[in-house]
Each structure stands twice: as C-alpha cells, then as structure tokens.
C-alpha cells in the first residue's frame, strides 16, 4: 500500500510516502508559509505519488470531533493564516481515507506502533522543545475528549531560587505552567544561552528536571502510563534522563508502584521519525477501523 504521511509543523511540513510497516520510501520538506502558498505544493506532491491513504499529524489546537462541522480544522492557533484552516478537507479531492490527530499524539502512536512503546498499550509521549506537547495513548487508543491534551500547560511549583517569570503568556505568576518554565525558550530566556552552550552547567539540568519531574508525577497519578517517552530538542541533553528518573521516583515516594525507572522513563526509539511514522499509522488505522 502507498501511504502518505504529513507532519505539519509550525516551521516545516514533512511529507512522506511509506508502507504498512512504517517504512518511509520517499520524503520531502516544505517550509510552512501560508495555506495558500504551502498547501498546493503538498497536495500536488501526494497526488503525483498516487497515495491510497493519508495520515496527518498537525500542530494544534485542532478540531478532532468527527461529529463537528469543523472536524479536520486547525482552530485557534496564533499562526493567523492557518486559523480555521480545513487541512483534512483540503485533501478531499484525493478521495482517500485521511487520518488526523495532533503532532504529539502522532508521535505517541509512532513509538507505540514501531518504537519504544510497542510492548505496552498505555503510554505517553512528551516533546520538550520550542513548546512542550504531550501525546497520550490509553489502552491502545489515543486520548481525545472535549478537544485533545494540552498537557504541556500543566502547573508546576516554581523553585524557591528561580525568579524566571516563564515564557507562557497564559500562565504566569503566581501559577506557572511547565511549558512556561521548562521549554527550550524558557531555558534560553532564563540563562541567556542555548541548551548546547549550557551543556556542562549542572544547575541548568537540575532545574529542568525539577520542573519536568513534577509534571511526570502528575501524569503518572492521573493517567497511570506503562511507559513515558521524552523526546524533542531539549531531551537531546541525555544527562537529563537520570535526573528526571531520580526526581520523579522521589516525588511519587512509593505511593504507586513503578516499573524500573530505566525502562519507564525513556528516550524515543525512532530518532526524529516518530511523528511522520505516526502519521503513517494514523492513515493505516483510518483505512481499517475506528480504533484507536
């Protein structure tokens, strides 16, 4: 089967054609400009390749409610030209099944289908980068509700010695959210240097783990995941993993039994391909059943 996959991000649009095993046979990237300038190229690229299904993992917020008149739309994004854009409907003329979910749910699904969570049915995927996003799988189904998770905005307690106000314009003093305090821009904003430049500063990563572990504890007690995957640009700093594991276990403090932290809080297995591979899986699911 020729399966199309679109990973729609704020700066670039990755398009790929793959197969039922998640193998990517061809890929191309277009810069994300406006729908009018970007989408015709993407449409033409997929049309030429005669794809039989398409999966889209997209920056949000999105309307994922299949009963909604606006199903398939990007909704209230700050990227004004994309607001209310019907990205699923744009492919109507291809007359093929189109699967659709958030970029982080797609990443969660990609790792679950072919990566580091393929042996468990409940997992979460957290990307820590320009923003912080969370994809959630519960018993083999991606989590949707009123909309979709926005769990990068979970509240955290600020460290006593940290006076950084955070980068999130919505969640500021006295209540700080994770994205505001721990995203890539928060690190750069607080310390005045990039993550790579701060690589050998243990206080930077101790504080980063301080915030991430609070969020992980809350995801654990709420969602009871069988594994937590931490990806995204910030998590390329591998020294974060032991720090986050240690602090998360200390916070839970034995209240709920946890698996061996080395196998519970893990890096992705698919490099940077979990999103585009997850989009392939979204397409496959759409052709088969309504699950997950």
Q: Which positions lie near a copy of itself, rule CB under 8 A?
A: 61, 76, 122, 134, 136, 138-139, 141, 143-155, 157, 160, 170-171, 174-175, 214, 217-219, 221-226, 251-259
Q: What are the tokens at 35?
A: 């729908």
Q: Give the whole-angstrom CA distance, residue 284 versus residue 58.
A: 17
Q: Residue 3 contacts by C-beta under 8 Å, 6 or more apart in sequence?
A: 17, 18, 19, 20, 51, 52, 53, 54, 55, 280, 283, 284
Whose Cβ is closer to a copy of itself: residue 43's or residue 206's?
A: 206
Whose Cβ is closer to a copy of itself: residue 175's or residue 202's?
A: 175
Question: Side-chain half-sphere of 257: how many Cα atoms within 13 Å?
Answer: 0
Q: Give the whole-angstrom CA distance, residue 267 versus residue 125.
A: 10
Whose Cβ is closer to a copy of itself: residue 214's or residue 237's?
A: 214
Q: Give the whole-angstrom CA distance, residue 265 versus residue 284.
A: 28
Whose Cβ is closer to a copy of itself: residue 29's or residue 76's?
A: 76
CB of 100 to a copy of itself, least distance (A): 16
CB of 118 to a copy of itself, least distance (A): 16
C-alpha closest to that of 51 among 98, 85, 88 = 98
Give the residues across from 171 on adjacent strands: none
Whose Cβ is closer to a copy of itself: residue 1's or residue 255's?
A: 255
Which helix (H) or strand (E) covers residue 55, if one does?
A: strand 53-58
Q: What are the tokens at 147?
A: 């909309």
For the chain, give the number of residues. Answer: 292
C-alpha closest to that of 6 among 29, 25, 22 = 29
Whose Cβ is closer to a copy of itself: residue 38's or residue 123's?
A: 123
Q: What are the tokens at 79?
A: 């990227």
CB of 61 to a copy of itself, least distance (A): 7
Whose Cβ is closer to a copy of itself: residue 1's or residue 221's?
A: 221
CB of 70 to a copy of itself, least distance (A): 12
CB of 60 to a copy of itself, least distance (A): 10
Task: Write down the number of H helices and E strands in the chain.
Answer: 8, 12
CB of 139 to a copy of itself, least distance (A): 7
CA distances from 50 to 1, 44, 94 (A): 10, 10, 9
CB of 282 to a copy of itself, least distance (A): 16
**CB-based contact 14:29 (threshold 8 Å):** yes
């Amino acid at each position: 089967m020729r399966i199309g996959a679109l990973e729609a991000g704020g700066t670039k649009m990755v398009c790929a054609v793959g197969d039922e095993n998640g193998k990517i046979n061809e890929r191309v990237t277009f810069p994300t400009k406006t729908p009018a300038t970007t989408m015709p190229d993407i449409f033409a690229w997929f049309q030429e390749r005669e794809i039989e299904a398409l999966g889209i993992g997209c920056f949000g917020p999105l309307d994922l409610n299949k009963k909604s008149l606006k199903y398939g739309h990007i909704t209230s994004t700050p990227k004004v030209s994309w607001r209310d854009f019907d990205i699923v409907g744009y492919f109507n003329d291809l007359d093929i099944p189109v699967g659709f979910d958030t970029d982080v749910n797609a990443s969660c699904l990609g790792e679950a289908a072919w990566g580091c969570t393929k042996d468990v049915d409940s997992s979460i995927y957290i990307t820590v980068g320009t923003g912080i996003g969370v994809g959630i799988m519960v018993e083999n189904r991606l989590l949707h509700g009123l909309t979709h998770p926005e769990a990068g905005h979970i509240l955290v307690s600020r460290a006593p010695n940290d006076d950084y106000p955070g980068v999130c314009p919505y969640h500021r003093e006295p209540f700080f959210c994770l994205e505001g305090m721990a995203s890539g821009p928060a690190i750069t904003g607080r310390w005045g240097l990039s993550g790579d430049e701060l690589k050998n500063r243990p206080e930077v990563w101790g504080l980063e783990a301080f915030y991430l572990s609070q969020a992980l504890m809350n995801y654990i007690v709420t969602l009871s995941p069988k594994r937590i995957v931490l990806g995204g640009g910030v998590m390329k700093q591998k020294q974060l993993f032991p720090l986050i594991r240690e602090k998360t276990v200390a916070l839970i403090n034995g209240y709920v039994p946890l698996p061996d932290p080395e196998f519970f809080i893990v890096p992705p297995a698919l490099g940077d391909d979990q999103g585009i591979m997850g989009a392939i899986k979204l397409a496959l699911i759409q052709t088969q059943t309504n699950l997950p």
